[in-house]
Amino acid sequence: MTYRILIINGPNLNLLGEREQSQYGSITFDQLKDKCIQKCKDLNVNLDFKQSNIEGEIVTMIQNARNNYDGIIINAAGFTHTSVSIRDALDIYKKPKIELHISNIYKREEFRKKSLISDVVNGIICGLGSNGYILAINAMHELLSDGN
């Protein structure tokens, strides 16, 4: 079976490679996207890889995913710590969801240590750099294959 997954990237992730390389590495957004697309091809998974700096657009992506995707991987970036609306949309989405962060949010500023979305996702991957995306894709493939 071919699964459809959606990776949602939140604010400022379009600037990967330019911003805070000590936290996020030197990979660009387009390089990360290509890496994820290739991994999904290897697993026979259809991938849509999206980014928005606008909270409402991310909520709409999640709402629309209910009928179009088998799973969501989300790096909500700064909205992780502030958006009840994204959390509520994820809670409504009853299929597998993985929260993802490039940096280890628990080793950063105090306000970043609280995720509003962690309690409505199947799992969390953080602190493993851009490789976390590949791990999340693998984990999502396993969740979907196992029927969880």
Cα 26 from Cα 61, distance rounded (Å): 27
d(CA 69, CA 79): 22
Q: What is the distance between the alpha carbons of residues 115 and 95, in angstroms, rounded to a whole number? A: 20
Active centre residues (catalytic): 24, 101
DSSP-assigned states of every residue in 76-93: -GGGGGT-HHHHHHHHH-
- Please, what sign has the CA dihedral across residues 5, 100, 10, 96? positive
